[in-house]
């Protein structure tokens, strides 16, 4: 397991790809993209031009920010990558997730569906196993993620995971609070999960 020091430079945004999402969620994603750009950070995302992820990437690019999209080839016709941002096309979802992890120093979790949930659970699992120490912050408007947080607490109450797990992530209810929350968490170390150093 290789440990490295790294300053906060890139923020990965996990979020939904549905254009049918609530307008407030789409607007919040756009606000976050703009804030990431204004803070001089790079936005790393799933590479699509639709839904919340498209709104975030488009807004960051329009604000003059750096944007990196990573998308599997089989999703390009469905999620329609933006032509004017840097996009890397990979061959599998596994490659996509690993590259997004490697290219990012922190993670912003916005409302999303089953794909977002899968990404978040893997990210938290790696954190639980001490494979990384990157900040993880949820945007939780209208209690969107409260059910998930209650499930995490049940794991703790049933002594299936230690109470310290609750300290590995934070949640905010206003999108403007997300980047400050990330900056308040340690960002000085991360690890590449063993056996994944050279995923191709």
Distance CA(70)–CA(66), nearest Å, equals: 14
Q: For the beta carbon of residue 113, count every other beta carbon within 10 angstroms.
A: 13
Is the CB of residue 87 less than 8 Å from the CB of residue 96?
A: no
What value does the mean pLDDT take over residues 145-169?
96
**Top-confidence residue, 78 or 23:** 23
Distance CA(94)–CA(96), nearest Å, equals: 5
> Is the pLDDT reported for residue 194 higher than 80?
no
Contacts of 54 (CB under 8 A, 6+ apart): 17, 48, 80, 82
Q: Which CATH architecture has domain 3-143+170-189?
A: 3-Layer(aba) Sandwich (3.40)
> Is the pLDDT reported for residue 192 higher than 50?
no
What value does the mean pLDDT take over residues 63-92?
95
> Is the pLDDT reported for residue 162 higher than 80?
yes
Q: Please, what's the b/e burial string for 8-26 (b: 16 or more CB within 10 A of its CB; e: otherwise)?
A: bebbbbbbbbbeebeeebb
> Is the pLDDT reported for residue 191 higher than 80?
no
What value does the mean pLDDT take over residues 91-95?
95
Say whether 185 sits in a helix, a strand or coil. coil
Q: Which of 66, 50, 35, 59 is nearest to 137 (CA)?
A: 35
> pLDDT tens across 3-18, in order?
444 689 999 999 999 9
Distance CA(144)–CA(64), nearest Å, equals: 30
Confidence of residue 187 (pLDDT cuts 50, 70, 90): low
What value does the mean pLDDT take over residues 33-52?
97
Is the CB of residue 12 less than 8 Å from the CB of residue 100?
A: yes
> Is the pLDDT reported for residue 86 higher than 50?
yes
> Is the pLDDT reported for residue 137 higher than 90?
yes
Q: Return the domain boundaries, the chain.
A: 3-143+170-189
Q: Where are the alpha helices (DSSP H) in the chain?
A: 23-38, 51-62, 76-79, 93-102, 114-128, 146-157, 178-183
> Is the pLDDT reported for residue 100 higher than 60?
yes
> Is the pLDDT reported for residue 177 higher than 50?
yes
């Amino acid at each position: 397991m290789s440990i490295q020091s790294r300053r906060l430079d890139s923020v990965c945004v996990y979020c939904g790809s549905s254009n049918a999402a609530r307008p407030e969620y789409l607007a919040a994603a756009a606000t976050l993209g703009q804030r990431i750009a204004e803070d001089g950070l790079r936005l790393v995302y799933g590479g699509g031009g639709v839904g919340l992820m498209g709104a975030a990437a488009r807004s960051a690019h329009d604000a003059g920010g750096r944007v990196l999209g990573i998308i599997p080839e089989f999703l390009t016709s469905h999620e329609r990558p933006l032509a004017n941002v840097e996009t890397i096309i990979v061959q599998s979802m596994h490659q996509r997730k690993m590259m997004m992890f490697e290219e990012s120093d922190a993670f912003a979790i916005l409302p999303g569906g089953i794909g977002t949930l899968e990404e978040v659970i893997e990210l938290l699992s790696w954190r639980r196993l001490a494979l990384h120490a990157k900040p993880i912050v949820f945007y939780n408007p209208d209690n969107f993620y409260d059910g998930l947080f209650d499930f995490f607490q049940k794991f703790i109450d049933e002594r299936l995971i230690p109470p310290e797990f609750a300290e590995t992530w934070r949640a905010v209810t206003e999108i403007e609070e997300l980047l400050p929350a990330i900056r308040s968490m340690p960002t000085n170390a991360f690890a590449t999960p063993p056996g994944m150093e050279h995923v191709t």
